[in-house]
Amino acid sequence: MELYDELKWRGLINDITSPDLIDELNHGELTFYIGTDPTADSLHIGHYSSLLCAKRLQQHGHHPIMLVGGATGFIGDPKATGERNMLTPEVLDHNYQALHNQIENLWGFDMVNNLDWTKDLSIIDFLRDFGKYFNVNYMINKETVKKRLDSGISYTEFSYMILQAMDFLNLFEKKNCRMQIGGQDQWGNITAGLELIRKKHGADVKAYGLTMPLITKADGTKFGKSESGTVWLKKEKTSPYDLYQFLLNTEDSKVIEYLKKLTFLSVEEIERLEKALEENAGAREAQKKLAEEVVRDLHGQEELDAALKITNALFRGKLQDLDDEQRRDAVKSMPKIQTQAMKLEDLLVSSNIAKSKREAREWIKGNSIAINGEKYTDPNMIVDSSMAYVDNVLILRKGKKNYFAFVFEPNVD
C-alpha cells in the first residue's frame, strides 16, 4: 500500500488541492509545514492526529516544519461562534516556550515562529506587499468568515487569513516548503496561502495543500481547547493514567477510527482488532490496545506501567499497593464529594449514593461498600479524616465499578 492510499485508509485525507500531490506524496520528498497557535501551554488530543500525520510523512522521506504562531496567536483564527479573547504578550510567550519544548521532546521537528518575519513589518508594507493581493469578495466567501458575517467579525480576525498566507509564502521562499497540512477547518487559510504564492511566483508553481478530517467524539463534537473535558498531551494537565482511562472508555463506534489515526499499528493489526471487536466487544481488546499505544508513545513505557498499575489496583481493590503520587492520580478523575465525619450509612445517604438509610444498610451489610479497598459491614461506623487514603481524600467504592472521592473539610477551630 502506497503512502497516499494508507493515509486514505486511516481517514487522514479530507481534501487535497491537486491530484498531482498524490504522486508527490508517494514518490517525492516534500518539505511541508503544519502550524498551531500558542493559545494554551500544551497541545491536546485533537492536535495529536495531525502531528502523527506529519510524522507518517516524515517516515516516508518528507521533511516537516512545525510553525508555532507567535504572531498569529496575537490575532486569533476566526471561530464560527464569535471573537476570541486576546491573550497578553506574557501569556503568549509562556505558551510558545511550552509548546516549543513539548514538540521538540515528542517529535523533534524543525520549528519556526512567524513572529520572526512579521514583528518588524509596517502597516504600509503589510497593505502594499500583501493586502493588495487579496480580494475582499474572495475572503468573505471562505467558510469560516462566511459563517461570521451575520453576527459580525472584527477586521483583526478577518486579517488572520492574510497572515497565515504570508507564512506559507515565507516558508516557500526561504525553505522551499511546498505543502501545508492542517485540519479541514484550515482549508480556506491554506488555499489563501497557495493563491498568494501563485500571484507572487506564477500560476505554475508546484505547491499544495492537504487537509485532514477533525477527530471527533462519539457525539460529533471536536476535541479542542475550548471544549469541556480537554484531554491534554502534557502529563501535568492530563496524567498518563487519566489519558489511559479516557482512551480505555472509547466507544465501540469510534475505537477503530482512533486506532487508525492515533497509532502506528499496522493495517493488519488494526484489521485483526476490528475483527476481535466484532466477535467479542465486551473484551475491549481494541480499547486496551489503543490506550496502551498512545500512552506509551506520548509518555513512555514507565508511565504506561504506572497507569496500568493504578488501573489494576482499582479493578482488584488493591489500593494499598499504590504510592502517594499514584494515589493522587487515582482520585483525580473521580467524582468529588465534600464531607465531614459521620456514620457510614449517613455518608451514603447525604451524598445521594443511597436513596435511604434502609438502602444504605442493605449495601453495607451485603459487602457492597469498600473504603480505600477494604470492605466494611457496620452501618454505624464513623468515617472521618483519619481514614483518608491520600491527603484529605477517602475513596469509597460501591459494587465493582462505582468510585467516589470524599474530600474532608478541614477542621475550623
Q: What is the pLDDT of residues 181-234, one digit of tens each?
A: 999 989 989 999 999 999 999 999 999 999 999 988 877 777 755 445 688 999
245 assigned binding-site residue: no
What 8-state DSSP symbol labels residue 402? E
CA-to-CA distance for 125 and 74, rounded, in angstroms? 19
Distance of alpha carbon 384 from alpha carbon 342, whole angstroms: 7
- Alpha carbon distance 97, 383 (integer Å): 46
Joined grid coordinates for residue 36: 498551531
Which residue bears the cell 479516557?
A: 246
Which pLDDT does position 413 carry in this prediction?
Answer: 45
Beta carbons of 194 and 168 less than 8 angstroms apart = yes
Within 333-385, residue ranges assigned H as helices are 344-350, 357-365
Q: Which residues pair with 405 in a beta bridge?
A: 336, 395
Is 160 annotated to bind a ligand? Reply is yes
Would you mind telling me the total number of residues written for the chain in this entry?
413
The tens digit of pLDDT for each residue in 82-115 reads 677 788 899 999 999 999 999 999 999 999 999 9
pLDDT of residue 94: 94
The Cα–Cα gap between 24 and 19 comes to 9
- The pTM score is 0.85
Cβ neighbours of residue 251 closer than 8 Å, sequence gap 6 or more: 218
Domains of the chain and any CATH numbers: 3-212 (3.40.50.620), 240-332 (1.10.240.10), 336-408 (3.10.290.10)
> What is the reported pLDDT for 412?
45
What residue spans of 118-206 are helical by DSSP H?
A: 123-129, 136-140, 143-148, 155-158, 160-175, 187-201
164 belongs to an annotated ligand binding site: yes
- Residue 389, annotated as binding a ligand: no
What are the φ/ψ torsions at residue 336 (nearest 5 degrees)? -100, 135
Regions of the chain where pLDDT drops below 50: 226-227, 412-413
pLDDT of residue 335: 81
Whether the CA torsion 266, 271, 274, 276 is positive or negative: it is negative
